[in-house]
């Protein structure tokens, strides 16, 4: 692209107009490989930086992690054909987890469409099931129309991914005149809609009169930036609050009315195990940004069948999907703010009177749990217990730190053995589809979004095997992410679940020996191997003090299992 402004304007292409349109929506960086090359060469002229990934699956997840932390749309780019197919998994995760991501995908030239051109594929059909909005832009004069539609789709209602398909020749066309559009639609939620006042008042009355109310907060609290409103409601209305995996951090778990994470991880060793009756026996349940999915409801056995439900969600189809509810269709933050006001007009004397006993009950259960797990969380020697790994990180993670975990066991370890110390603290896990391998790229995206904050990623050796190549990305971008790999030599969840269900497991569950620390060093990153529990603290301190990317491989106990309810009675407990 020409360097001087006059010649740039005179020779402006559709690729430059695309970059300018993205910049109008607040985009300052994209995650991409070389293609669409015309766009990436033009983008710096619009102030857009390129963050290069190694593989599209990972790049899409980086855009997801960036969006979750920045509050802005994450943008990823890809080539047509095989590269585009690798965007399907991360976009599917973003769709299920309600994360706004826009994918810019190159198409073959328009004159070669439907002629078996090189790497031609029907991207419209391929992306349709995993995106809210998919369009091919065939005309330069419609570019900004479609860009705005994509951003509106990604950030409005229930956020999610959108895909724009860009023919290679279109990007090189002479640009249309600069459009008159001025809107910035790049932050979410785009529209903070709230329910009608009568329904808010009805919900407030139900909660105030309830004998055993409970709030269960999901990931929608974080997407809406509603943590402070929820924390205020918890305190002012004397309400106990539990969270789902993705909702962890919605309230401070140090608050005396915080139950912790509930769902399918409430076996022996779970903080919330003894508090299950607070959910199971509730008479009024307030769901906030909660999909009522299988894991979060322990296969729909946890929530009470005869309770009255109130459900806050921006997606009207989610309300009542599994539990008929008073419908509060709207943005979580705006709706909670209105509910707080309505609750202030209710008689809360009964709630206030019930609070001391409720606090004692929760406090006693949490103290009992701490006593139960104290030994395993401090156990020396090797192989190292994952509970100790989570506890050591927890002691060092600041309140504004971002904890990221891969799917499967890693997500369980951080949700059970780490503590949210303030409302709004972030714990990122791929729980939309819970695919392995997304921990490292989620952490990369989060660190790009928040370069001043500490980002730690916990992943198993099974999941980490999907993302080894992105260590080079960490090194190249000089991001100070600390990656902790739990190396137990097995595909843990799969092996233990198969043993539980079938009494044996498939040969795919056992790995050969891999030196993950050596892989990190080969990529130019500090790599350290820990074989004993007492060595871990110093290794973490060194990694954090370095201000550089680092990998700590911890040789962990292959018999260690999170407290999944499905395991109860099948395996010996470590306590």
| CATH number of the 197-363 domain | 3.40.50.1220
**For residue 427, pLDDT beyond 60:** yes
Question: Which pLDDT tens digit goes with each residue over 255-292?
Answer: 999 999 999 999 999 999 999 999 999 999 999 999 99
What is the percent of the chain where pLDDT is above 90? 95
Q: How many CA atoms lie within 13 A of 514 on its CB side?
A: 20
pLDDT at 175: 85
Give CA–CA dist 518/316, Å, rounded: 50
Select the CATH number that applies to the domain covering 14-172 from these four: 3.10.129.10, 3.50.50.60, 3.40.50.970, 3.30.70.1350.
3.40.50.970
Residue 176 confidence class, pLDDT cut points 50, 70, 90:
confident
Residue 5 confidence class, pLDDT cut points 50, 70, 90:
very low
User: How many beta carbons lie within 10 A of that of residue 136, not counting itself?
Assistant: 17
Question: Which pLDDT tens digit goes with each residue over 106-116?
Answer: 999 999 989 99
Question: Which pLDDT tens digit goes with each residue over 445-456?
Answer: 999 999 999 999
pLDDT at 171: 97
Mean pLDDT of 469-485: 97
Residues of the chain with CATH 3.40.50.970: 14-172, 379-567
**For residue 388, pLDDT beyond 70:** yes
What one-character-per-residue DSSP string does 135-161 give?
Answer: EE---GGGHHHHHHHHHHHHHSSS---
**For residue 1, pLDDT beyond 60:** no
Mean pLDDT of 156-181: 92
pLDDT at 387: 98
**For residue 7, pLDDT beyond 60:** no
What is the percent of the chain where pLDDT is above 70? 98
CA-based radius of gyration for the chain: 24
Residues 6 or more apart whose Cβ sits within 8 Å of residue 305: none
**For residue 10, pLDDT beyond 90:** no
pLDDT at 6: 43
Mean pLDDT of 19-27: 97
Question: Which pLDDT tens digit goes with each residue over 313-344?
Answer: 999 999 999 999 999 999 999 999 999 999 99
Nearest-CA neighbor of 459 among 434, 425, 480, 476? 434
pLDDT at 396: 98
Asked whether the beta carbons of 531 and 516 are under 8 A apart, the reply is: no
**For residue 11, pLDDT beyond 60:** yes
Give CA–CA dist 517/514, Å, rounded: 9
pLDDT at 8: 52
Asked whether the beta carbons of 187 and 24 are under 8 A apart, the reply is: no
Mean pLDDT of 495-517: 95
Residues of the chain with CATH 3.40.50.1220: 197-363
pLDDT at 3: 42
Peptide bond into 189 cis (omega under 30): yes
DSSP conformational letter for 44: G
pLDDT at 168: 97
Nearest-CA neighbor of 76 among 40, 45, 44? 40
Superfamily of domain 379-567: Thiamin diphosphate (ThDP)-binding fold, Pyr/PP domains (3.40.50.970)
Mean pLDDT of 520-526: 98
pLDDT at 223: 98
Question: Would the pTM of this model clear 0.85, i.e. be above it?
Answer: yes
Asked whether the beta carbons of 303 and 279 are under 8 A apart, the reply is: yes
**For residue 375, pLDDT beyond 70:** yes
Mean pLDDT of 18-36: 96
Residue 86 confidence class, pLDDT cut points 50, 70, 90:
very high
Residues 6 or more apart whose Cβ sits within 8 Å of residue 453: 400, 401, 402, 447
**For residue 4, pLDDT beyond 50:** no
Mean pLDDT of 282-308: 97
Residue 180 confidence class, pLDDT cut points 50, 70, 90:
confident
């Amino acid at each position: 692209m020409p360097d001087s402004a006059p010649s740039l304007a005179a020779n402006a292409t559709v690729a430059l107009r695309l970059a300018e349109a993205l910049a109008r929506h607040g985009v300052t960086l994209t995650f991409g490989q070389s293609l669409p090359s015309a766009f990436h060469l033009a983008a710096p002229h619009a102030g857009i930086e390129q963050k290069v990934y190694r593989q599209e699956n990972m790049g899409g997840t980086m855009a997801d992690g960036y969006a979750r932390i920045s509050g802005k749309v994450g943008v990823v780019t890809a080539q047509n054909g095989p590269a585009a197919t690798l965007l399907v998994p991360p976009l599917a995760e973003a769709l299920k987890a309600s994360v706004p991501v826009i994918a810019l995908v190159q198409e073959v030239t328009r004159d070669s469409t439907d002629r078996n051109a090189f790497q031609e594929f029907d991207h419209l059909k391929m992306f349709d099931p995993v995106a809210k909005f998919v369009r091919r832009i065939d005309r330069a004069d419609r570019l900004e129309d479609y860009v705005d539609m994509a951003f509106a789709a990604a950030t409005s209602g229930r956020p999610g991914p959108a895909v724009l398909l860009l023919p290679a020749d279109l990007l090189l066309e002479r640009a249309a005149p600069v459009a008159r559009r001025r809107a910035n639609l790049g932050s979410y939620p785009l529209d903070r809609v709230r329910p009608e006042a009568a329904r808010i008042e009805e919900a407030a009355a139900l909660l105030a009169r309830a004998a055993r109310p409970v709030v269960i907060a999901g990931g929608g609290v974080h997407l809406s930036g509603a943590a402070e409103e929820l924390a205020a409601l918890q305190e002012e209305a004397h309400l106990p609050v539990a969270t789902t995996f993705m909702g962890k951090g919605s309230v401070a778990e140090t608050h005396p009315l915080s139950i912790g994470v509930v769902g399918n991880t409430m076996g022996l060793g779970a903080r919330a195990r003894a508090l299950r009756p607070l959910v199971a026996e509730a008479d009024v349940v307030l769901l906030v940004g909660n999909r009522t999915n299988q894991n979060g409801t322990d296969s729909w056995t946890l929530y009470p069948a005869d309770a009255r439900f109130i459900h806050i969600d921006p997606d009207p189809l989610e309300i009542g999907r599994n539990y008929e509810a008073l419908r509060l269709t709207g943005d979580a933050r705006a709706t909670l703010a209105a509910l707080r006001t309505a609750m202030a007009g209710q008689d809360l004397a009964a709630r206030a009177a019930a609070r001391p006993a409720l606090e004692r009950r929760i406090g006693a259960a949490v103290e009992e749990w701490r006593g139960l797990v104290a030994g395993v969380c401090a156990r020396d020697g090797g192989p190292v217990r994952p509970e100790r790994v989570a506890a050591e990180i927890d002691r060092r993670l600041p309140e504004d730190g971002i904890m990221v975990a891969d799917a499967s066991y890693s997500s369980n370890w951080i949700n059970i053995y780490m503590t949210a110390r303030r409302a709004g603290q972030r714990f990122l896990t791929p729980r939309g589809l819970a695919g392995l391998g997304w921990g490292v790229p989620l952490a990369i995206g989060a660190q790009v979004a928040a370069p001043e904050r500490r980002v730690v990623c916990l992943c198993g050796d099974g999941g980490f095997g999907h993302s080894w190549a992105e260590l080079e990305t960490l090194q190249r971008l000089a991001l100070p992410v600390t990656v902790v790999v739990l190396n137990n030599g097995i595909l843990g969840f799969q092996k233990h679940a198969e043993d539980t269900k079938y009494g044996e497991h498939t040969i795919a569950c056992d790995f050969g020996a891999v030196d993950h620390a050596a892989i990190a060093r080969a990529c130019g990153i500090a790599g350290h191997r820990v074989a004993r529990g007492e060595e871990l603290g110093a290794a973490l301190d060194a990694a954090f003090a370095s201000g550089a990317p680092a990998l700590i491989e911890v040789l962990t106990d292959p018999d260690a299992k999170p407290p999944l309810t499905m395991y109860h009675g099948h395996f010996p407990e470590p306590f």
